[in-house]
Structure 1
Amino acid sequence: MRPLTAHIDLDALRHNYRQARRYAPDARAMAVLKANAYGHGSLACAHALADRASAMAVACLEEGQALRNSGIQCPIVLLEGFFELGELDTVITDGYWSVLHTRWQVEALLDRLERWPQHRVTVLVKCDSGMHRLGFAPEEVGEICRLLRSHPGVEQTLLMTHFATADTPDSPLLTSQLDTITTLQRQLDLPGCFANSPATLSVPASRHDWVRPGVMLYGVNPLEPDHALHGEIDQALKPVMTLESRIIAVRELAAGEPIGYGARHVTRHPTRVGVVACGYGDGYDRHAREGTPILVDGQRAAIAGRVSMDMLTVDITGIPDADIGSRVTLWGRDVSGAVLNVSEVAQWCDTIAYTLLTGILPRVPRQYHQVGAPDALSDDPLPDAGATGTPS
């Protein structure tokens, strides 16, 4: 069978969740599993975290129902709320926590709760503190929260926002957003759910009652390279997905020979070229530039020529032992221990790690690995990790 496989390390996933807990020891951690757990497989990832996550978050009800139907019992948060009135009965009766970001959602929910007096819901009121995507204006939030808190069908109201620049050091917008939302929280005396992955790791003032680790769960460092904590976070997180294939053919080319579509690459000297079973039909980015790094049997090599639908070509001249059957790591941790960070590959493709991970298509099989048995870690606060939140 075709050798391309996405290997998913569930032990690394649990390790990264624990890092979120260590950086925010007094907060509960809501594991974000939207977009098929960022391409890793939401059901497997949800069950790997089921013994420890206080809640899980998805983009929409369809994603939530897949988790519920597989046996996930913890609260499931709908990060964009509901989209149509027809979803409300399920949201209410199955105990989903819904984000509310528009007035029609608030009005529709309160109206539908009259039909279900035996049920009570938890809601998250989203404040647009400065990102200007979803949410109520700060001056509207107080009225909305008072309306919800006064309704007998609303059991719990949380205050929520999303930071636009938490990954950037010394961001004035982050300071402004944080000031806005913390002022509102003090006025309304509500639990706060503010910190995404970069804020969880680097902004202690944002952590409050709940944090929302997303891409960090999958081993991606969410901080910009010039951030003071970037190196520390690289050491703290473990890659969860390793995209691995094999060389299926080797060509010996003289100098001056073209490789691949458009003849973009022309050899400058006698060159050994390995043909790898992976292409944009699998989700590997076609925009990968000349020189995009790849590991061949744990050694760094580089793409030569354009990525095709089912194949790509790599210059293996400097790896004389490489041959048909040699192991190729497109990103992740090679069995030799060498690591090729998906964020580094993303830079060569002029994109971000999120798009590479979520872009891996269904024809690529996911193979799940788990060495350690799930432990009894609850979501009770952990001991203080230190004044800066650095893991011990």
Structure 2
Amino acid sequence: MSRPIQAVIHLDALAHNLQVAKQSARQNVSDAHVYAVVKANAYGHGIERVYEAFKQADGFALLDIAEAKRLRALGWQGDILMLEGIFSLQDLLDCHQLKLSFSIHSAHQIDWLRQFQYSYPQAQFDVFVKMNSGMNRLGFIPEAYAEAWVELQKLSIVRSLTHMMHFSDADGERFGESGIQYQYQCFQHMVQQFPAPVTVSNSAAILRHSTVLQSNIARSGIMLYGSSPDYPQHTIHDWQLQPTMTLRTEIIGVQTLQAGQSVGYGSNFLAEKTMRIGIAACGYADGYQRVSPTGTQVLIDGQTSGLIGRVSMDMLAVDLTHLPDSDIGSEVVLWGKASNGAVLPIDDVAKASGTVGYELMCAVTQRVPFIVDARRIPAESAA
């Protein structure tokens, strides 16, 4: 018999969240395209597992050529955008052969395009020109953006150009004003000189600012995977998102602690009274955070309980004192959906561990079996 831990991917929830992204992104731009961001192996969910749910996306966005090849192998013929652009001259050949779009954020990448044009003058690329309007990671600073745009217009292998930027604070405020205002004003001032499509919206901007943004292409990422981009200000319930991954296991042992007794390494939890605890088959070698403290929420048979003591490599302890009917074999949900329909949002678990939902879903390790819950995917018109 295999160890009872599983990660379940919910296709209906993935498809539902995509429809939420489309509805939100099209509030100001009625024909906005919504791309599904599937970088980091679809945020730990698996590109092959989520593909069926995301086939109604207008495009995909990711980072790695290898992941782009996986999408093409699945049969996707639409646009694939390489968010970090090209990393070498060789990448341009792959982009040409796979028909990939990509960002350009540095002068050396334009030089690669010039070199590539000599050898492959028949190539045609859709290029996204990235501005650094305050995020200060990738992109041309405003003073250099216009020159880069003009240089790219001169290249015959550049079929189209799209303005691109990334918000640093779309999930909140910056110095008492809207988190998008300082970047968006800078961006708008520059791009008005060169009429072309624009992509600015990430998940936080899609949900919070779509009524005021002009974004012809929206890049929906974390919201697709059942995590709120501005948690705790808003939860997934506020945004009508659904959890897309459930990490679940079972109770494999039960112990009774007397007052003063401890459980687990370090004896950092001491019972203040008689307690009944369950030992669940999940630990940090499965991707659950070792730093998760006592009290971190779990669902046991669909009812709320909490972590007890230190997380081990393969096991953790949970409180069964108030759950007399729970025993060996009882379901333990570390995040996601319980069998009775109860939901433990991944954001709640992440907050207790001092991190974000992104990290938890991406950290589930290879030894955890993944299964796909392939119940009916809602039609686009039903959203």
Give me the TM-score of the superposition, normalised by structure 1: 0.92
Aligned to 1:192: 198
Residue of structure 1 in register with 2:54 after alignment: 49
Distance (Å, rounded) in 2 between the aligned partners of 1:61 and 1:319: 49
Q: Distance in 2 between matches of 1:282 and 1:80?
A: 29
> Closer, same or farther in 2 for the Cα pair 1:95/1:189, shift >3 Å?
same
> What SS does structure 2 have at the residue aligned with 1:324?
coil
Amino acid at match of 1:225: P
Deviates more, 1:71-80 or 1:288-297: 71-80
Q: How does 1:197-346 map to 2 (within 5 A)?
A: 197-204=203-210, 205-226=212-233, 230=234, 234-346=238-350
Counterparts in 2 of 1:233 and 1:203: CA distance versus 1, 3 Å: farther
Secondary structure of the 1:187 match is coil
Q: Deviations over 1:288-341 (max 9, x none)?
A: 011101000011111111001111001110101010000011001112111111
Task: Confirm whether residue 58 of structure 1 aligns to residue 62 of structure 2.
Answer: yes
The Cα of 1:113 is off from its aligned counterpart by 2.5
Counterpart of 2:241 in structure 1: which amino acid?
Answer: L
**Shift in CA distance, 374/73, structure 1 to aligned 2, threshold 3 Å:** farther
Contact 1:331 1:342 in 2 (8 A): yes
Contact map agreement 1:199 1:207 (CA 8 A) in 2: no
Is residue 31–residue 214 contact of structure 1 (8 Å, CA) maintained in 2? yes
Instruction: Give the residue type in structure 1 aligned to 2:266.
Output: G
CA offset at residue 171 of structure 1?
4.0
Output the CA distance in 2 between the equivalents of 1:183 and 1:270: 66
- Asked whether the equivalents of residues 165 and 171 of structure 1 are also in contact (C-alpha less than 8 Å), the reply is no
Identify the residue that residue 166 of structure 1 maps to in structure 2: 170
- Correspondence for 1:389: none
Summarize deviations over 1:90-109 as a string: whole Å, max 9, x none: 11222111111111011102
Which residue does 2:9 correspond to in 1? 8
Bigger shift: residues 244-253 or 60-69:
60-69
Report the Cα distance in structure 1 between the residues aligned to 2:243 and 2:249, rounded to whole angstroms: 17
Letter in 1 for 2:11: L
Q: Given the alignment of the two structures, is residue 31 of structure 1 paired with residue 36 of structure 2, yes or no?
A: yes
Conserved? CA contact 2:11–2:377, under 8 Å? no
From the superposition, tell whether residues 373 and 358 of structure 1 become closer, same or farther in structure 2 (CA, over 3 Å): closer
Cα distance in structure 2, aligned partners of 1:233 and 1:248: 32
Deviation per CA, 1:183-220: give whole Å up to 9, x if none: 22222112111000000111122342010000000111
Q: Distance in 2 between matches of 1:274 and 1:338?
A: 20
* Aligned mates of 1:28, 1:233 — CA distance in 2: 24
Aligned residue type for 2:33: R
| Residue 358 (1) aligns with residue 362 (2) | yes
* Contact 1:127–1:141 under 8 Å retained in 2: yes
Contact 1:159 1:191 in 2 (8 A): yes
Q: CA deviation at 1:144?
A: 1.1
Q: Which amino acid aligns with 2:148?
A: I
Q: Give yes or no for contact 1:88–1:112 (8 Å, CA) kept in 2.
A: yes
The corresponding residue for 2:373 is: 369
Whole-angstrom distance in 1 between the partners of 2:345 and 2:145: 41
Give the secondary structure class of the aligned counterpart of 2:67.
helix
Identity %: 38
Match of 1:387 in 2: none
The number of residue pairs the alignment matches comes to 375
Contact (CA 8 Å) 1:8, 1:366: kept in 2 or not? yes
- 2:97 corresponds to 1:96: no
Structure-2 change in CA distance of 1:231 and 1:248 (3 Å): closer
Instruction: Give the C-alpha shift of residue 74 in structure 1.
Output: 1.5
TM-align CA RMSD:
1.7
1:203 partner letter? H
Distance change in 2, residues 1:199/1:88 (3 Å): same
Amino acid at match of 2:22: R
CA distance in 2, matches of 1:239, 1:172: 28
Retained in 1: the 8 A contact 2:100–2:125?
yes
Point out 4+ residue stretches in structure 1 off by more than 3 angstroms.
169-173, 373-377
Measured at CA, do residues 347 and 373 of structure 1 come closer, stay the same or move farther in structure 2, by a change above 3 Å?
closer
The CA deviation string for residues 6-30 of structure 1, in whole angstroms up to 9 with x for no partner, is: 1111111011011111011221001
Q: Take 1:63 and 1:20, find their aligned partners in 2: how far apart are those partners?
A: 23
CA distance in 1, matches of 2:51, 2:117: 29
1:177 aligns with 2:178: no
Matching residue's letter, 1:179: Q
Question: What TM-score do you get using the length of structure 2 for normalisation?
Answer: 0.94
* More divergent stretch after superposition (133-142 vs 171-180): 171-180
Partners of 2:148 and 2:331 in 1: CA distance: 56
Contact 1:127-1:136 at 8 Å conserved across structures: yes
Aligned-residue offset at 1:232 = 7.9
Please report how far the alpha carbon of residue 375 of structure 1 lies from its aligned counterpart in structure 2 after TM superposition. 3.7
Distance in 2 between residues matched to 1:44 and 1:223, nearest whole Å: 26
Instruction: Write the distance in 2 (CA, Å) between the matches of 1:171 and 1:91.
Output: 40
